[in-house]
């Protein structure tokens, strides 16, 4: 695991954008794994600037979202399919049909999860997976005690994660209890994993994922097993490291 500590969030975003840009210059049809939440938004903004300023072309990119809330209707502003359409596909000039997100509205959710896994497999696999980390150490929505071998499936959010994410909704009661998420085993198959964390509220999770034992109680610690994992931190998020 490569850990890079940078002065601020803008530098973290630029470093992540550098990794995406290097990949796309070499492979314009690369497959990206896409996180939502607040951590990747500055990266998507930086990539949009590079598209405009440096002619970086995203038209052939394909993407897979990490996770989705169960039960939010299509087009709901906080549905992750809609967030990725608005924050990623549109600013980067990508046909939203090239971005696939686990389906949280399917009548048969387990079947939809299996179809999603198959679609990643059929794409040739994720070249670069962007990740944030929850304050409880989740990646995707793999909450503490998730199986380290898990595949895309339904999960229940912890109350801590629901409270953390209430800022995106009108209030805590609006935050769904259930999600569909890529599993830890799914995430580990990406060829390069780039995790971003900024702010002191992530310091404990960052300590646990980088320096703690490999343990399901901190799902992000599974990245210790990954052969090409890059962890980009600002100084506040790195403040718990030895
Ligand atoms: C979102 C996701 C989550 C977030 C995590 C951190 O697709 O998979 O694991 O990355 O909850 O969220 P932020 O970045 O909002 O602190």
Q: Is 83 in the pocket of ligand 1 (CB under 6 A)?
A: no
Pick the closest to residue 199 from 131, 134, 129 (CA basis).
Answer: 134
Query: Confidence class of residue 54 from pLDDT cuts 50, 70 and 90?
Result: confident
Q: Is 219 in the pocket of ligand 1 (CB under 6 A)?
A: no
Helices 9-26 and 41-54: angle between axes, nearest 10 degrees: 50
Please report, rounded to a whole number, the percentage of residues in the chain having pLDDT higher than 90: 98
Q: Is 220 in the pocket of ligand 1 (CB under 6 A)?
A: no
User: Is pTM, for the whole model, over 0.90?
Assistant: yes
User: 161 CA to middle of ligand 1, Å?
Assistant: 9
Sheet holding 31-34, edge to edge: 2-6, 229-234, 192-197, 128-131, 31-34, 62-65, 99-100
Residue 122: the pLDDT is: 98
Residue 55: the pLDDT is: 87
Q: How far is CA 148 from CA 52, 131, 230, in A?
A: 40, 16, 19
Residue 108: the pLDDT is: 98
67 catalytic residue (yes or no): yes
**What confidence tens digit (pLDDT) does each residue in 106-150 have?**
999 999 999 999 999 999 999 999 999 999 999 999 999 999 999
Count the alpha carbons within 13 Å of 86 in the hemisphere toward its beta carbon: 12
- Residue 150 to residue 188: CA distance in whole angstroms: 10
Nearest CA to ligand 1 atom 2: 140
Q: Is 202 in the pocket of ligand 1 (CB under 6 A)?
A: no
138 catalytic residue (yes or no): yes
User: 222 CA to middle of ligand 1, Å?
Assistant: 16
143 catalytic residue (yes or no): yes
Domains, the chain, with CATH or none: 2-234 (3.40.50.1360)
The ipTM assigned to this model is: 0.99
């Amino acid at each position: 695991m490569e850990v890079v500590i940078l002065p601020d969030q803008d530098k973290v975003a630029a470093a992540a954008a550098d990794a995406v840009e290097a990949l796309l210059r070499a492979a314009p049809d690369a497959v990206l794994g896409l996180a939502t939440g607040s951590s990747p938004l500055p990266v998507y903004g930086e990539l949009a600037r590079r598209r405009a300023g440096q002619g970086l072309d995203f038209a052939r990119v394909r993407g897979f979202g990490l996770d989705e809330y169960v039960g939010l209707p299509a087009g709901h502003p906080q549905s992750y399919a809609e967030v990725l359409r608005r924050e990623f596909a549109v600013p980067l000039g990508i046909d939203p049909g090239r971005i696939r997100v686990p389906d949280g509205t399917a009548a048969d959710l387990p079947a939809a999860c299996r179809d999603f896994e198959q679609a990643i497999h059929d794409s040739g696999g994720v070249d670069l997976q962007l990740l944030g980390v929850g304050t409880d150490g989740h990646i995707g929505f793999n909450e503490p005690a998730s199986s380290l071998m898990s595949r895309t499936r339904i999960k229940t959010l912890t109350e801590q994660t629901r409270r953390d994410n209430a800022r995106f909704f009108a209030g805590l009661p609006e935050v769904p209890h259930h999600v569909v998420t890529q599993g830890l085993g799914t995430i580990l198959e990406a060829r390069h994993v780039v995790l971003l964390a900024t702010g002191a509220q992530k310091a404990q999770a960052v300590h646990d994922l980088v320096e703690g034992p490999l343990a399901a109680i901190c799902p992000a610690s599974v990245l210790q097993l990954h052969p090409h994992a890059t962890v980009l931190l600002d100084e506040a998020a790195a403040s718990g490291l030895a």
